[in-house]
Structure 1
């Protein structure tokens, strides 16, 4: 568990990573739809699908897909004004997006990978509703790479280019609702070799891969744009794939807790073997709970449901045993029951509780033939749900006799995991016949500059201090910084066109605006997430041309954040911003000095700091601070 630090080499820890990163392309992988995300309330219509597993080329069915299909669900999809027939699976996919392929080849270079001679699109069966097709399209682009960590190299087995799944919005009464805005966004999947031998190395490897991806400047940033899956096993355990780790910082805890979970399950299996444990038959024990005061059980019975039970012979005290923080063997059984619609299970290691009395527990044990060394699990729900749920819990208890089951698990926010489905197998893959193969050519693809190299260059070339250089290089607006600093930006190209060849924006101004100023505005509850790159380009263009004083940049960005559809000039005019000429600035300075004439006469230049603040306030960001400072000194000296 989290407090325990294991001897990982003695346990035989083996781990690998699968990193999934969205690419920042103009269009989706197999159609020309934009890759922008929408709010669900922007949807213009909906449609529904029911999905079922299909057989592979060899006539096999994937076990994970079969289990997923046992849950009867309707999938509803939110469509938008840009949603096309490809996204709806009413038209064949178009050719593989060239921009996405080029970026993937850049990633391959950074990890010393060998591109394949010919890339074939494959279909990977997925019937959880996250794809309208019932499968995900995936293409192997490169193999046999390597990254460095402080504990030695980690191999990179494969690099795939895939289409992102639809975004899960919410559970509905009939199934699941998905949004189609995310479906089809290009996604790279990077799979490492099982070379990772500690939680710390897993975190370092993930951070290294994340840095390499961001070095391209062509990946999406923000919550949900990168996901990490972790494969973990110990010598006496089994391979477990943990999906959906949202934060890099969670990876070491995920690995640490999974090692602990498997070690505990191995010990439980040894104890069960020593006890000669076994699993009983499922039985209907509804009559035991007639007139019960348990709200959960009574609610199920009042709705016409039943209580189903299974005896777990030799399991007494082990169902309630903690196997990872705040999760027990009983939680594992409950996860399986929930997959079949139940709210969970009760078991005798935690009873009497929840309104279930000692007398009912005793009657329950008698009903299933359980003795003092045995445990009993129950499910109270509708007849069909209760039967399927208790069977699933019993099957999971059966695997506890053997130790650690191979399975796919989901990452929880607290660093623990929950059961999702069995591990998928090779039967889930088969060729995509609607997309022609491509021949990746890395010859014309430049190798990106590493972020670590950018930090050094920003300090040497632009004079940024190390902290600011790091912020910019690792920040989400690094490509915009490089664009405006290297080439400048004019009013004519502020909408995203090519530069007019003018000198670039001052690097320190650009860096502090993109990192410090936006951070300060965010802390003041300004919705800076509304600002577009066009807003920022136009703001820099006004500052560069002298139409906006540097001190006015925060006020202009705050105004644009509230209404990003306006141009910077429109927002500046509405907010009374702009750049005052020298005569106007001097007039404002003289007014401040004359209003504080006594202080100037008595303190001389000692009054400068206080009056400087008043001057800047009076000018409201319309004048450059250096000019105000110069004129204020002149006016004070005249009167001193």
Structure 2
């Protein structure tokens, strides 16, 4: 795919960054913010959700379309799940720790805190919230960040509750886990100042760095999500939800621009052809006795084949608009929303067991000529009818160009249709939570990670690479805590970034290690009760059995430090066993004997001490 001239196309893009905060409890209750395995759930319950009208009597179109899909939502509850999470009790007051963190973030972006923050309800009926809405609070406005292509404005910063985690699709709907529901989440929305895919990526990286600078955000897969708003001059605003990897943002923007360019070109071609969309029709009789497995299976189950003629669409339904995605894929996305497995269309037929004769009969049955296309859906009758209507509606918007809509990000950098863009009718006040008055004057401004890297080099004499690893690493707050408590900075840094990485590569379950485990190990070294060489073995022992203390694990593994007398005794034994080599090679025998000495001491002694004693003993004999 060739690169487009984004200035000429009039590319306008903006970001919405959603980042989970590292707090002790959830935003509106006292439940923990730790994720659980679905197998740990203790009970389940189900809900059906429906849209409600706003204070002005309006219904949000996105919520209305979502409600047309009849689904049951099943929720996994745990021993920590409370009535707030089940929507059986009003929410508690806004979490103060979360509020303080978002005020720190606001300072880093030169934003102005609001005088009074009111919690709002944002209508969501996809099952991701048991209440049918997400609680969201505007905290600050009017900031900016810098990029190499100019400043990008930050329009708003909101504090909201995380949604429930989708676990699986079920026969009746969707299964969610309640462990994630209610985790504090910061949402940062930029102005539409981004004019290239590269600037979009740079802006996201800058915001990510600022968030991590607080040391108070969760890290790991799924803790941060990026939404991207993209449009070109002849296209329309499209909101792309759920970009999991920051590295995908530029590709997402690039592919969306290409998709809109192709949709505009298709619109122009359809206009030249004076194209139109016909009425949906029942084409079941055309496929009587068909050898197509998909269609035959639907008919054998008592289903139907519904068809819609697309006049003037021949060759365009199969036209590629993004990598491995065609206009027909867009039609299929809409059909799938209503339960269909997908669609067939004449640009790809005969195929999939559908014969050339059946294609000809299909065209004749719906009154389609050689310049026309036909799309069909084979499914249960109700599903087929709803799905073909959705296909016809989407084909109609192809005549107009690019529809405004919300799309989901795919792993390959492409997107799929989700729902219409939400409107103002989805927001209304939350009457169960009192407003708060944010006071940023009591909140210190965090040190930027870029500044931390420089300070770690200057103050702690860390190398540039190690300083950057620590500053940007997941356990940066732990590093700062232990160094402030007197732990050697080089020991702390190498343990957190090198030793833990090596253990992870050796398939040691380092995720079992808590900050307390690591701090206790470092303290044993600092107090002279554990040699540096014993750190790796002790951490591995704690990872394998995290219920024991560092002292217990060290004693069980025989990793306690030994004194100089025991070291000398072991070294003398090694030297005497290799007396001939020492006499022949002198100090050149040091390297080989050093490894043997360390092995004899089994990591119980500090390497510097062993080296010193070994040199002394060799010198005595040469």
Same fold (TM over 0.5): yes
Post-superposition Cα deviations, 1:131-153, rounded to whole Å, max 9, x if no partner, equal 00000000000000010000000
Please point out which of 488, 505, 509 is paired with 2:491. Answer: 509
Q: 1:353 aligns to what? A: 351
Residue 594 of structure 1: CA displacement? 2.1
Q: 1:98-157: per-residue Cα shift (whole Å, max 9, x none)?
A: 000000100000000000000000000000000000000000000000100000000000
> Runs of 4+ in structure 1 displaced over 6 angstroms?
none
1:611 aligns to 2:590 (yes or no): no
Single out whichever of 234-243 and 594-603 deviates more from structure 2: 594-603
Alignment of 1:212-291 (within 5 A): 212-291=210-289
Q: Which residue of 1 aligns with 2:453?
A: 455
For 2:280, what is the secondary structure of its paired residue? strand
User: What does residue 548 of structure 1 align with?
Assistant: 530
Q: Is 1:157 the equivalent of 2:139? A: no
The 3-state SS of whatever aligns with 2:17 is: strand
Match of 2:577 among 578, 595, 610: 595
1:559 correspondence with 2:541: yes
Structure 1 residue 382: deviation in Å?
0.8
Distance, in Å, in 1 between the alignment partners of 2:31 and 2:266 is 52
Q: What is the aligned counterpart of 1:518 among 477, 494, 500?
A: 500
Aligned length: 622
Unpaired segments of 5 or more residues in structure 1?
489-503
Aligned to 2:57: 59
What is the CA–CA distance in structure 2 between the aligned matches of 1:286 and 1:425, rounded to whole Å? 39
Cα-Cα RMSD: 0.8
Residue equivalent to 2:604: 622
Task: Tell me which moved more, 290-299 or 155-164.
Answer: 290-299
Q: What's the TM-score once normalised by structure 2's chain length?
A: 0.99
Q: Quick one: distance in 2 between partners of 1:596 and 1:348?
A: 85
Q: Deviations along 1:377-433, whole A, 9 cap, x unmatched? A: 111111111111111111111100000000000000110000000000000000000
- Following TM superposition, by how much is the alpha carbon of 1:345 offset from its aligned partner in structure 2, in angstroms? 0.4
2:164 aligned residue (155, 163, 166): 166
Q: Does 1:45 find its partner at 2:69?
A: no
Deviation of 1:269 (Å): 0.3
| 1:309-349 deviation line (CA, Å, top 9, x unaligned) | 11111111100100000000000000000000111001111
* 1:147 aligned residue: 145
Using the TM superposition, give the Cα deviation of residue 445 of structure 1 relative to its aligned residue in structure 2, in angstroms: 0.5
Give how far 1:597 is off: 2.0
Partner of 1:126: 124
Deviation at 1:482, TM superposition (A): 0.3
> Which residue of the partner structure matches residue 568 of structure 2?
586
> Please, which of 70, 73, 81 is the counterpart of residue 72 of structure 1?
70
CA distance in 1, matches of 2:202, 2:377: 43
Counterpart CA distance in 2 for 1:595 and 1:80 is 62
User: Which of 7, 10, 16 is 2:8 aligned to?
Assistant: 10
**CA drift at 1:574:** 2.1
What residue is the counterpart of 2:319 in the other structure? Answer: 321
Secondary structure at the counterpart of residue 186 of structure 2: strand
Shift of 1:635: 1.4
Distance in 2, matches of 1:86 and 1:227, equals 25
Q: Which residue of 1 aligns with 2:196?
A: 198
Structure 2 equivalent of residue 117 of structure 1: 115
**Partner residue in 1 for 2:550:** 568
281-290 or 183-192: bigger deviation: 281-290
Q: How does 1:474-513 map to 2 (within 5 A)?
A: 474-486=472-484, 488=485, 504-513=486-495
* Structure 2 SS opposite 1:161: strand
Q: Which residue of 2 aligns with 1:494?
A: none
| Cα deviation 1:205-239 (Å, max 9, x = unaligned) | 00000000000010000000000000000000000
How far, CA to CA, are the matches of 1:610 and 1:398 in structure 2? 80
Q: Tell me how far 1:158 sits from its aligned partner.
A: 0.2
Aligned to 1:25: 23
Q: Aligned pair 1:34/2:16, yes or no?
A: no
Aligned partner of 1:330 in structure 2 is: 328
Query: How big is the shift at 1:514?
Result: 0.2
Q: Give how far 1:563 is off.
A: 1.5
Whole-Å separation in 1 of the counterparts to 2:225 and 2:602 = 44
Q: Hey, what's the Cα distance between the residues in 2 that align with 1:543 and 1:42?
A: 37
> What is the aligned partner in structure 1 of residue 209 from structure 2?
211
Paired with 2:424 and 2:15, the residues of 1 have a C-alpha distance of 19
Distance 2:53 2:577 in 1: 86
The CA distance in 2 between the partners of 1:206 and 1:585, in whole Å, is 54
Counterpart of 1:466 in structure 2 is 464
Shift of residue 528, structure 1, vs aligned partner = 1.0
Structure 1 residue 166: deviation in Å? 0.5
- Structure 1 Cα separation of the partners of residues 570 and 349 of structure 2: 79
Calculate the TM-score normalised by the size of structure 1: 0.96
Matched, 1:303 2:285: no
Structure 1 residue 591, shift from structure 2 partner: 2.1
CA displacement 1:289-320 (0-9 Å, x = unmatched)? 11111111111111111111111111111001
3-state SS, counterpart of residue 335 of structure 1: helix
Partner of 2:87: helix, strand, or coil?
coil
